[in-house]
Amino acid sequence: MKPEITQIWDWLDQVPDPEIPVISVVDLGIVRGVAWDGDTLEVALTPTYSGCPATSVISMDIETAMIDRGIEKTRIKTQISPPWTTDWLSDKGRAKLEDYGIAPPRTAGGPAHCPRCKSENLDRISQFGSTPCKAQWRCLDCLEPFDYFKCI
């Protein structure tokens, strides 16, 4: 018996992003669709950016999670259009990013405040961070550096 699609979404919400393990692939907004094609589960993924090295790990983690739940056949379909945007991050995911110490993206072009002490006294260190989707910032009050998840 095939599990309901809502159950599959719940399981996918337990698959962490390998680069930011506190956020799920669902909260990240990269899971674009889930459907049964006969006895094969098809999961459509949109990478955060073209060439993202985590995409293959995410695909493998999704397949493993489904096998662990009794789904033997899973097909991962890469969907590049429309391209992923930070608008697809869930509110829950944004809150998890901040709790983890990563400032969530804002259309205003920079973090609203330090994710640690909430100060608005900030300085951008570099437009380039630990991964291509992040920039490096520093709080001028608590003096801690932090990542900012860039708007895409």
Domain ranges of the chain: 5-86, 101-149
Closest CA to 65 of 96, 19, 90, 34: 34
Closest CA to 152 of 78, 79, 82, 57: 82
Q: Burial letters for 68-84: b for 16+ Cβ neighbours within 10 Å, e otherwise?
A: eeebeebebeebeeeeb
In this prediction, residue 132 carries a pLDDT of: 78
CATH number of this structure's domain 5-86: 3.30.300.130
Write down the mean pLDDT value for the chain.
94
In this prediction, residue 51 carries a pLDDT of: 79
For 16-73, the pLDDT digits (tens) are 999 899 999 999 999 999 999 999 999 999 998 877 888 999 999 999 999 999 999 9
Query: Quick check: 49 and 152 in contact, CB under 8 A?
Result: yes
